[in-house]
Chain A
Amino acid sequence: MTYETVIGLEVHVELATNTKIFCGCENKFGGEPNTHCCPVCTGMPGVLPVLNEKVVEFAAKAGLATNCTVANFSKMDRKGYYYPDLPKAYQISQFDLPIALSGHVDINVDGNEKRIGITRIHMEEDAGKLLHEAVAGTAVDYNRCGVPLIEIVSEPDMRSAEEAKAFLDTLKSIMQYTGVSDCKMQEGSLRCDVNVSVREEGAKEFGTRTEMKNLNSFSAVVKAIEAESARQIAVLTDGGTITQETRRFDDVKNKSYAMRGKEEAHDYRYFPDPDLVPVTLTDEQIEAFADSLPELPETKKQRFVQELGLPEYDAGVLTGERAVAEFFEGCAAEYSDAKKVSNWIMTDLLRLLKEANMEADENPVRPRQLADILKMVDEGKINVTVGKAVFEDVFKTGEDPAAIVEKKGLVQISDTGELREMIQKIIADNPGPVADYKGGKKKALTFFVGQVMKATKGKANPKVVNEIASEELNKA
């Protein structure tokens, strides 16, 4: 009996607006508790919400960027439930008439393209946070209350943890490109709830699904899916049944647990919020939003392949994140060999960012700086190895490449006279390897080149060294 895993995701994305969804408090991560709040977002008696126009715009753009139909008419509804992080004991959300419906996102897993459906996208307000460091009890911080969210619900189209991760990566990329959100999972601006079920291969019906919430990284999502899928298969194989429930995933133990205590089936009692009027968008307005979208990752990737002749893989890496793509384009505007730029980004920039635990949008190198390095290498002013070291220096210090080269005296030594002298000395000092070379071991040349590089602290022009060393050895 082989089983198939079915995965659906509900992704909450915090919108990068200046202010909260229903009040003018700043939409800012962090800060001392309850310092970005007002009577409206803390649900005081008598207060009223007013919808932020940017939220509508961003939500519509998110819908357009994921191929959804953006609704001409949508409304806000109240979703009632009790929890201390929810000051009004209802969340203003959208129930039956959300802002966007029926879209899709194309993902690529190991070279296989797949389309993942998006059921809907709706606007809603975020809740506060519970802090568990109080002396006695739990502390409530409402700073995050009222931060605008869009909830993106996928169709249960994913069949593996890899597909789920690819979906999340693609979605994150699209959201960043549109400018709608910075999608930083570690800051909570992207959160994911996972629905997992299994069924026998070939079965038509879906199995019972469980839900896991509060997963705080893409790798946690992957692990949670794999663990839960395995657990469900084990249960079914043993003849048991799956209970529909919400489970908590322990990232460290790599196990999920049924939530403690009786899970009250929520009757949210949705009804249209009487304090807020409906939102209507004309076709013209929706078109204007669509026109204002920047080139999206998939389109950009295809353009890199077709117009710049980059391999699909490279184009994929470069367009994966908006900040990387922008860096690439900035650099390619100043230096025409796109493949070279691409290589340097993929091998050096991405590595340095990873080592420094930095996000792509925190990259301190300016595109012009990479272009300058590449030009200096082309001109023979420095060699490639030195160039890479300079790049690392620019990354770490922010100084301009030319200044670094100057300061550290890294200019490549191409003076043939100087090099010839050096080589002749090394030949004189190393009769053994000379004999090897003359005896037919042409590879012994690298010893001499290596010695020159060592003596010049890597600054010698390798091509020239090679030529002269060959000449001198042949003479010796």
Chain B
Amino acid sequence: MKAYEMTLKQAAQALERKEISSVELTQSLLDRIGGLEPQVRALNAVCETQAMEAARKSDQRRASGEAKSGMDGIPAVVKDNICTEGTKTTCSSKILAHFVPPYNAHVIERFNAQGIITLAKSNLDEFAMGSSTENSAFGASKNPWNLSCVPGGSSGGSAAAVSAQMAPLALGSDTGGSIRQPASYCGVVGLKPTYGAVSRYGLVAFASSFDQIGPFTRTVEDAALALNAICGYDKNDSTSMNAEYPDYAAGIGQDVKGMRIGVPKEYFASEGLSEEVKASGQNAMKTFENLGAIVEETTMPTFEYALTAYYIISSAEATSNLSRYDGVKYGHRAEDFDGIVDLYVKTRNEGFGDEVKRRMMLGNYVLSSGYYDAYYLKALKVRTLIKQDFDKLFDKYDCILSPTAPTPAFAAGAKSDPMHMYLTDIYTVPVNLAGLTAMSLPCGLSSGGLPIGVHLIAKPMNEVTMLRAAYALEQALPPIGDPTFAGGDA
């Protein structure tokens, strides 16, 4: 097995048993990146020198029996909206194209404390707003399964990187599905932890009520190990959960006999759902039943309103979070301007892309006086109803199952209408509104050879149960294989 083919668990074991060194592993991944990046374009920056240096130090520690953790020496890709001290963090936006944070995000401090190496910064939709990574100011990333297709978004670069075996672990961020949808398109595992389980300190904010950092991995067990590395209380984040955190791998390998899985009928009845995705989802349900779980159709009446509520609330928070980009303290500043107001306007006009501007306008509209009650406040009330719907569901069920996205990955440029793009998040956004945890894992391939994902949702702080179900399903389903890098330009 090549080093880059190793899963996170395999790599950790190999390092521990000294079957491989961190330097060898890191080099293998860097070589893999060098070979594939021209086609996949998953990464904004590769931290080659720092990564090799960190790998050397890791090996030294291990040699003297002072490994910082079981993951010491594991390289990981980090989405480029997570602040890495001394290394550019651009959010794939012109306005932060040269921004070098003077501090590390909390998750990066956790990485450092465990010896996990930041290998590269991955591409994303600008400021995490998008579902295809086509909104990146630096060019779109490609789907390793078909290079003329999108990898999904906004964490498309991280999903593609793990899918292409550029790293056994990548961090993304999920605000309305930005980890789960690209995971589904790229045939990897993507998990959004419970809101508050991973510190947001250092994650460049998009929608503060919804944003969460989470892992991409190639197996479910890897995702559990990743959660152990990144979850935990942070006193610098007022929304960080001050609670007991479990060993996230505790449920791996346990059976799912008697586990109750609810499938809201509204999800499988929605208009844009492709037949193949529907069939794949139904296959997953059947598989669960064969494993002894109880799969039942149920209902979620507020489902159809979630997307709209999400767009109103997230745009409002986004516009506020992005107002700080003004050319004064950091980031891009326009060259010619006449006075401070002109400085702001020119800088922001030049620095932001279309999708960001679109959401900014919507956000300011719904917050402006005269419209606040009708839109923003109404959306917050609808959010309460959505949460209540989920509470009722979790009274009866351990997990909820749905497709992750209505279709497999679409062709680059295919969804030019923003509304069509927004609809790809239809199954994922309710989770963020309610602060739940959810994940996507591969459950099949389309006739066109593109991965299809199934979406599992659990109530807050119930990742262990969700991972238990996901693992059982993963083990029972045939593997989908490796990406073919087909299509696209030669």
Interface residues of A (CB under 8 A from B): 39, 42-51, 78, 80, 82, 84, 87-90, 140, 267, 269, 271, 274-277
Contact: B368 with A45, CB < 8 Å? no
B200 to chain A: which residues have CB within 8 Å? 46, 48
Of chain A, the residue at the smallest CB distance from B199 is: A48
Contact: A89 with B326, CB < 8 Å? yes
- Bound Cα distance A43, B324 (Å): 7
A269 to chain B: which residues have CB within 8 Å? 320, 364, 367-369, 372
Interface of A is mostly: loop
Shortest beta-carbon distance, B328 to chain A, in Å? 6
Q: How many contacts A-B (CB < 8 Å)?
A: 93
B245, CB-defined interface residue at 8 Å: no
- Bound Cα distance A47, B200 (Å): 8
Contact: B328 with A84, CB < 8 Å? yes
- Bound Cα distance A50, B341 (Å): 31
B396, CB-defined interface residue at 8 Å: no
- Bound Cα distance A346, B121 (Å): 70
Contact: A87 with B329, CB < 8 Å? yes
A44 to chain B: which residues have CB within 8 Å? 101-103, 329-330
Of chain B, the residue at the smallest CB distance from A45 is: B204
Contact: A82 with B329, CB < 8 Å? no
Most interface-central of B81, B317, B326, B340 (chain A CB within 10 A)? B326
B451, CB-defined interface residue at 8 Å: no
Q: A87-B329, A89-B324 are in contact. Are A49 and B102 (CB under 8 A)?
A: no
Contact: B201 with A89, CB < 8 Å? no
Known A-B contacts: A140-B328, A267-B369. Give 14 more (CB < 8 A).
A45-B89, A45-B96, A46-B202, A50-B235, A50-B236, A82-B344, A84-B340, A88-B324, A89-B324, A269-B320, A271-B320, A274-B209, A275-B239, A277-B239
- Bound Cα distance A48, B239 (Å): 9
- Which 10 pairs show the lowest CB-CB distances between chains A and B? A89-B323, A274-B208, A269-B367, A274-B209, A45-B204, A46-B202, A46-B204, A46-B83, A43-B324, A88-B324
- Bound Cα distance A271, B318 (Å): 12
- Chosen A-B contacts, 15 in total, with CB atoms closer than 8 Å, are A39-B101, A45-B83, A45-B91, A45-B99, A46-B89, A46-B202, A46-B204, A47-B202, A80-B367, A82-B341, A140-B328, A269-B372, A271-B376, A275-B238, A277-B238
Shortest beta-carbon distance, B434 to chain A, in Å? 15
Contact: A46 with B203, CB < 8 Å? yes
- Bound Cα distance A404, B481 (Å): 97
Contact: B323 with A49, CB < 8 Å? no
B205, CB-defined interface residue at 8 Å: yes
A140 to chain B: which residues have CB within 8 Å? 328
Contact: B201 with A47, CB < 8 Å? yes
B209, B237, B316, B323: which contacts A48 (Cβ < 8 A)? B237
Contact: B369 with A276, CB < 8 Å? no
Chain B residues 248-300 with CB under 8 Å of chain A are none
B330 to chain A: which residues have CB within 8 Å? 44-45
Shortest beta-carbon distance, B23 to chain A, in Å? 31
A78 to chain B: which residues have CB within 8 Å? 320
Shortest beta-carbon distance, B80 to chain A, in Å? 11
- Bound Cα distance A319, B455 (Å): 69
A90 to chain B: which residues have CB within 8 Å? 320, 323
- Bound Cα distance A49, B369 (Å): 26
B179, CB-defined interface residue at 8 Å: no
- Bound Cα distance A42, B368 (Å): 25
Contact: B323 with A42, CB < 8 Å? no
A39, A43, A80, A271: which contacts B372 (Cβ < 8 A)? A271
B105, CB-defined interface residue at 8 Å: yes
Q: A80-B320, A271-B367, A271-B376 are in contact. Are A48 and B340 (CB under 8 A)?
A: no
- Bound Cα distance A267, B344 (Å): 18
